[in-house]
Structure 1
């Protein structure tokens, strides 16, 4: 009888510990709504560690910039569905927009309409020149952007990157967080290559954010990959998942894995 009581007590304690230590971010990453292909990339994108580093909580208003197909949206939507708010600032589309961007936005909107976990998401638009109001000013707790800075630089230059960061600054509350993950070029790299390689220098990104009014609070090696030297025939797209060279040296680039990435946490100073 005493043995049975000890077993029941141990089981109860285990349940209690599990309930107390259950992490909302971990649960969101494990969500059944995420595909097996998406979860296979966790090894390189490290969503749990990244969102914890940025300080994302379930009751925040979070703006995700250019969510693409929704890889991070799947996690954020689950995390914020009960007590928070998720705004996805997707591609800005007009008559001159390339079909790739139009089709990406169309597929995302269809998913918002048909995919139950996306039911509470608000979709807005962002462009470094044509759409800078991603949400009501001063209302967001966090703005997150994953591997997008190079796109703004390649298409709109330094001014486009600074305008982007200023838009995010305006969207945030005082004390709000800007979380940036970006493909990282070594400090010794050629600045001109930032226009075509998909890699950006850390100092450049930090300077652009500071020019917008942000302060760098912390940086992390969560998404670093020391095997990536950022020098590839087709830039960052040489590596997985793009594998732009197709079968040429495929094993070599698969062995390197996804790109080396900087992970930077900026804060909008308190008023």
Structure 2
């Protein structure tokens, strides 16, 4: 007999995969192809497409075949899968995690990379102060993790970032003219970094100024993940707001010199 929980899990996957692609396969661009017509992509990943809108964000970031990309603090590699499909055989993706992210997502990450199923992906583990990032990369993808560099974790120092070291490492990793995409949960305007500690959110004005203070040039923003109904007083893990938070998306560039 099939247990109810198992049946519901199967149904959830099927429902998540039942949404019709927005374009026909022969009309799809490289981003839509990677998201909707990628036979290698795990079915369970597709459940989040509607709320994460990956094809649009990949296009916004300008990911191209042949690029060298870091999925920084990418956890289980949900975006790694898509980035790998877009950059193709001539490109490469580095899935980089610190102990904090490995603690929560290592089984998912290892399953994704098992048996060399993503041949153009390299796993990179490192400490916050030595993330072992490659250099001369075209793009750094930083999704829903930037706020974590401001969370104090006195009970486990290996989980706590060093802000200055973090920025120094990403500047070293990016080639001149390289880009960094930042997606994060918005906090109340004017609160700076204080909401990161308790609500896992960060003020977008603070975020922009933070990257600009390190020499990055703001290029553009995308409002596709905005939710004006979000309650900024709630933790992002609150049941009624989880996966529905208001999110900002910024693209920055490292200067040519």
- Answer yes or no: same fold by TM over 0.5: yes
SS of residue matched to 1:200:
coil
What residue is the counterpart of 1:222 in the other structure?
224
TM-aligned CA deviation for residue 122 of structure 1? 1.1
Report the alpha carbon displacement of residue 89 of structure 1 after superposing the two structures with TM. Answer: 0.8
Residue correspondence of structure 1 range 1-271 to structure 2 within 5 A = 21-30=27-36, 31-92=38-99, 101-102=102-103, 104-114=105-115, 116=117, 118-128=118-128, 130-136=129-135, 139-155=136-152, 160-189=162-191, 192-232=194-234, 235-238=235-238, 243=239, 253=240, 258-271=244-257
Task: Quote how far apart the aligned CAs of 1:206 are.
Answer: 1.4
Q: Deviations over 1:124-147 (max 9, x none)?
A: 12443x3243113xx100000100
Structure 2, unmatched stretches of 5+, are 1-23, 155-159
Distance 2:196 2:65 in 1: 35
Unaligned residue ranges in structure 1 (runs of 5+): 1-16, 93-97, 244-252
Which deviations, in whole Å up to 9, do the C-alpha atoms of 1:150-192 show, x marking residues without a partner? 2221137998344323321211111100000000112055853
Count of equivalent residues: 228
Take 1:182 and 1:164, find their aligned partners in 2: how far apart are those partners?
17
State the distance in 2 between where 1:29 and 1:171 align: 27
Between stretches 185-194 and 71-80, larger displacement belongs to 185-194
Query: How does the TM-score come out when normalised to structure 2?
Result: 0.78
What RMSD, in angstroms, separates the aligned Cα atoms of the two structures?
2.7
Deviation at 1:54, TM superposition (A): 1.0
Whole-angstrom CA distance in 2 between matches of 1:90 and 1:132: 7
